[in-house]
Chains A and B, each alone.
Chain A
Amino acid sequence: MRSAWSVAKREIFSFFVSPVAYVVLTVWLVYQGFTLYMLASYFAQSQYDAGAATQTPVTLFFGGTTLFYVVLLVIASILTMRLLAEERRTGTLEPLLTVPVGDVALVLGKYLAAMVFWTSLWVPTALYLVILKQYGSVDWGVAAASYLGVFGIGVFYMAIGTFMSAASPNPIIAAVLTFMLLGLMFLVGVGEFIFEGPMRDAFNYVSVWGHMSDFSKGIVDSRRLAFDASLAALALFLAVRVMQARRYE
């Protein structure tokens, strides 16, 4: 797995020396900061019983509003689009596939890099919570659970993005495909608000909204994480198969 790490290192390096990384990171942090500011202002103005409240700025920040998901779909697409599609577009896939590194190590390395990107977006947001703490109260247990939930979403979003990047001839197509597939899965998740009974549970299970509404209340449900992990495993498996199939073109 040394070669997977080598692939990841190169990818991470290339990402963080490109201006794209800083544009994405800046837009992301401004967007998230503004969202949290609005939520905090809203709670500061409205009168509510702090003791009985199930909703806090932190709960709403982590997936309580659609603001959260729209940007997530876009960001996930941008973070993963270059992974393999860029190598294919520029031809660097050829030297990369003619070294003694298996397709599994290659895909895992790329995925690992994507997880590092994802994590690097979220780590600075912890600072917002620290700031929030200066003016009110933050339940760190809830915050930790929320971050775990966010990481879980990353596990599966980054895997879908890796798969789409493996299957696309260039990064633009990869980004569009990732956005469409993740958007579709988000919409399927909306089914939890439409159906009743077991159907509702089923839709809730696949819904990122349902996923985050648990974690952002501090509920760590291992089924959610199992879902993320198994979907990620499936997507990465397909990515490996796509890389293998390419040799038979």
Chain B
Amino acid sequence: MLRVEQLTKKYGARVAVNDAQFSVNSGEIVGFLGPNGAGKSTTLRMVTGFLTPTAGRIYVDGVDAVAEPLEAVKRIGYMPEGVPLYPELRVREYLKHRAELKGVPRASIRKRVDACLEQASVADARDRIIGQLSKGYRQRVGLADALVADPPFLILDEPTSGLDPNQMRQVRDLIRGFAGKKTVLVSTHILPEVEATCTRAIIIAKGHVVAEGPLDELRKRRGAVEAQLTIRGTGAAVEAALASHGAVTGVHTTPTAGELTEVRVGLRDADRAVEEVVAALAQAGLGVRDVRSAGGSLEDVFAALTATDAGAQPEEGGAS
């Protein structure tokens, strides 16, 4: 549905998106993940034709979106970050206006507006003035707008930002509901959101796509995993027992009160290594009181891939 090749966008000297490459297949719900300022919005704005790339190619459903943005955008329902709306319009007036702009045939406008109000669960607010709606409702009006022309491909930029937990859950439920019906590319910097709604993720940091793949694969992506154990025995005995073990990359021991020792073990591979370490310790006559494996979560992958002074990045889209 979407193929992006060598996509680059420069704002003057600043490179917002650098040689990005990824694709989204039909029917998938894909998370577009990255810290603030990573280039998420800039990338989505290029896909939707709001910005023209400095270099690179974008194909939406086979249509060259750089050469024919008006043709490509017919296939896209886009919800921009912050969901800018006209506050003076009523919800149904706004959606009717948007349907007209998107070329929905006159005869089916009313039907489409009703349908998207229903799909985005804002039907109860149809006659209200947008400026008087809560943020959660406005977000859903934005979603209804994305749906109004019934496009096969939805692009949602930070659809849950600024919402309270209940509203977030509602929006996530809506997105999950598109599974199998629409192709969805949803950008966010919130990890649980991706884990809750998506089957695949694209991780972007500092304008580079640093990882792309199904969530399970991404979880395994991080080379080293860590196990935390509580052992009955001395630190020296633990180190001796694990010193020659092939899966272990490092051992760090902290003695606690009494006979227990807290141990952190660096591991090469998550799958079997924890079992092997426990077996090795038991064989050495050390009592294993507790085992917690840390790492290997999407959060760790995300942190590892995007950690480089991400907090110091300028605000995203500030130059546009």
List of B residues within 8 angstroms of A92 by Cβ:
84-86
CB contact between B88 and one of A6, A18, A102 (< 8 Å): that residue: A18
CB contact between B51 and one of A17, A95, A96, A249 (< 8 Å): that residue: A249
Report the minimal beta-carbon distance from A89 to chain B, rounded to whole angstroms. Answer: 10
Roughly how many angstroms separate A248 CA and B45 CA in the complex, as a whole number? 12
B97 pairs with A95, CB closer than 8 A? no
A10 within 8 A of B: yes
List of B residues within 8 angstroms of A99 by Cβ:
73, 98, 101-102
A13 pairs with B49, CB closer than 8 A? no
Roughly how many angstroms separate A101 CA and B84 CA in the complex, as a whole number? 18
A247 pairs with B50, CB closer than 8 A? yes
Report the minimal beta-carbon distance from A20 to chain B, rounded to whole angstroms. Answer: 11
CB contact between B48 and one of A14, A17, A98, A101 (< 8 Å): that residue: A98
Roughly how many angstroms separate A94 CA and B73 CA in the complex, as a whole number? 13
A94 pairs with B86, CB closer than 8 A? no
List of B residues within 8 angstroms of A102 by Cβ:
70
Task: Give B54's nearest chain A residue, CB to CB.
Answer: A248
In the complex with contacts A98-B78, A100-B74, A100-B103, A9-B52 CB distance below 8 A: no
The interface size of chain B toward A, counting residues with CB under 8 Å, comes to 30
A56 within 8 A of B: no
Roughly how many angstroms separate A99 CA and B319 CA in the complex, as a whole number? 22
Roughly how many angstroms separate A221 CA and B204 CA in the complex, as a whole number? 63
A70-98: CB near B (< 8 Å → 1, else 0) gives: 00000000000000000000111111111
List of A residues within 8 angstroms of B158 by Cβ:
none
A163-189: CB near B (< 8 Å → 1, else 0) gives: 000000000000000000000000000
List of A residues within 8 angstroms of B145 by Cβ:
95
Roughly how many angstroms separate A211 CA and B74 CA in the complex, as a whole number? 46
B297-315: CB near A (< 8 Å → 1, else 0) gives: 0000000000000000000
CB contact between B320 and one of A2, A98, A249 (< 8 Å): that residue: A249
A3 within 8 A of B: yes
Task: Give A249's nearest chain B residue, CB to CB.
Answer: B320
A112 within 8 A of B: no
Roughly how many angstroms separate A247 CA and B73 CA in the complex, as a whole number? 15
B45-82: CB near A (< 8 Å → 1, else 0) gives: 10011111000000000000000001101101010101
CB contact between A91 and one of B82, B88, B100, B319 (< 8 Å): that residue: B82
Task: Give B157's nearest chain A residue, CB to CB.
Answer: A94
Report the minimal beta-carbon distance from B173 to chain A, rounded to whole angstroms. Answer: 24
Task: Give A98's nearest chain B residue, CB to CB.
Answer: B48
Report the minimal beta-carbon distance from A175 to chain B, rounded to whole angstroms. Answer: 20
In the complex with contacts A98-B50, A98-B78, A7-B86 CB distance below 8 A: no
Roughly how many angstroms separate A137 CA and B232 CA in the complex, as a whole number? 113
In the complex with contacts A3-B103, A98-B49, A247-B51, A14-B88 CB distance below 8 A: yes
B93-109: CB near A (< 8 Å → 1, else 0) gives: 10001101111000000
The A contact surface, by secondary structure, is helix
Size band of the interface chain A makes with B: 20 to 34
Roughly how many angstroms separate A106 CA and B52 CA in the complex, as a whole number? 18
Q: Which of B11, B71, B76, B102 has the most CB of A within 10 A?
A: B102
Roughly how many angstroms separate A3 CA and B104 CA in the complex, as a whole number? 11
Task: Give A103's nearest chain B residue, CB to CB.
Answer: B70
A90 pairs with B102, CB closer than 8 A? no
List of B residues within 8 angstroms of A93 by Cβ:
84
B89 within 8 A of A: yes
In the complex with contacts A13-B89, A99-B102, A247-B52, A94-B45 CB distance below 8 A: yes
A10-49: CB near B (< 8 Å → 1, else 0) gives: 1001100110000000000000000000000000000000
Task: Give A6's nearest chain B residue, CB to CB.
Answer: B100
Q: Which of A2, A6, A14 has the most CB of B within 10 A?
A: A6
A98 pairs with B80, CB closer than 8 A? yes
List of B residues within 8 angstroms of A17 by Cβ:
88
Roughly how many angstroms separate A3 CA and B100 CA in the complex, as a whole number? 7
List of A residues within 8 angstroms of B85 by Cβ:
92, 95
List of B residues within 8 angstroms of A10 by Cβ:
86, 89, 97
A3 pairs with B84, CB closer than 8 A? no
Task: Give B45's nearest chain A residue, CB to CB.
Answer: A94
Report the minimal beta-carbon distance from A79 to chain B, rounded to whole angstroms. Answer: 17
Report the minimal beta-carbon distance from A187 to chain B, rounded to whole angstroms. Answer: 36
Task: Give A87's nearest chain B residue, CB to CB.
Answer: B84
Task: Give B142's nearest chain A residue, CB to CB.
Answer: A95
Roughly how many angstroms separate A188 CA and B11 CA in the complex, as a whole number? 39
22 residue pairs bridging A and B, Cβ less than 8 Å apart? A3-B103, A6-B97, A7-B101, A9-B97, A10-B97, A13-B89, A14-B88, A18-B88, A91-B80, A91-B84, A92-B84, A92-B85, A95-B78, A97-B49, A98-B48, A98-B49, A98-B76, A99-B73, A100-B71, A100-B102, A101-B101, A249-B320
Beyond the given A91-B80, A95-B84, could you list 13 further A-B residue pairs with CB under 8 A, ordered by the A residue number?
A: A13-B93, A91-B82, A97-B49, A97-B50, A98-B48, A98-B80, A100-B73, A100-B101, A247-B49, A248-B51, A248-B52, A249-B51, A249-B320
